[in-house]
Amino acid sequence: MAQRSGGVPPYPPPKSNQASRPYTPPDGDARGSGTAFDRHASSVDPETKLLRRRAATELAEDLERLRRINRERVLPLSSASSLDYKEVSEVTGEINSRAKRIKSNSPLELKGKKGEKPSYETDAAHLGSMLPELSRLIDSFLGNPVFSTASARDDELRSAAGRDLESIIRLSDAINKIAKRLARTSNEHA
């Protein structure tokens, strides 16, 4: 992950006020190295370093799993002639939990603009258009350059990533509710 300018808060926070000291890379390289989790590595205890490494590993796994779920499950479901509501519920439940964990584990401030809370109808008639929208949001979030390059537009990119992530959380939750309701209804009639 590229070095970012600006104040990126350490994750998880250090146990003491050691984060207020300026970061100096151990090798003397002014640009620094490693991930955003490592930025304050020289000023924290080993347990905090371990927690940060674990969070970084979880974040990388969640991003990759979200990419695979979208490619292997959401896209095929989006184009299916009939939906297996139980499968839709399972897929969107996993997407929702991964997205929430990404939100909590990210060392970047992925926050959309205040007041912009996407809302989605839990109307079963819209389910067919909701799955392609979820796929588009996942692609947009994962393709955001904030995860790969430093840029003068970092705040703008973080804001876009935050909006996409919040939309993924809300839309996957709405789809999950619809799918569970439809699965119950179809089981009752069967």
63 belongs to a structural domain: yes
Average pLDDT over residues 175-190: 85
Q: Are 99 and 164 in contact (CB under 8 A)?
A: no
pLDDT tens by residue, 88-113? 999 999 999 999 999 988 877 766 55
133 belongs to a structural domain: yes
- Cα separation of 187 and 184, whole Å? 5
pLDDT tens by residue, 27-40? 444 444 455 555 54
175 belongs to a structural domain: yes
Sign (positive or negative) of CA dihedral 89, 92, 96, 101: positive
Q: Residue 111 has what pLDDT?
A: 63
Label residue 16 by pLDDT band (50, 70, 90): very low
Element (H or E) spanning 185, and its range? helix 154-189
Half-sphere exposure of 69 (CA within 13 A, CB side): 28
Tokens describing residue 170 = 């809300």
Q: Residue 7 has what pLDDT?
A: 47
11 belongs to a structural domain: no
Q: Are 88 and 179 in contact (CB under 8 A)?
A: yes
Half-sphere exposure of 171 (CA within 13 A, CB side): 21
User: Is the pTM higher than 0.85?
Assistant: no
Sequential DSSP letters for 6-38: S-PPPSSPPSSGGGGSPP--TT--TT--S-GGG
What domain range is 118 assigned to?
21-189
7 belongs to a structural domain: no
39 belongs to a structural domain: yes
Count of domains for the chain:
1
33 belongs to a structural domain: yes
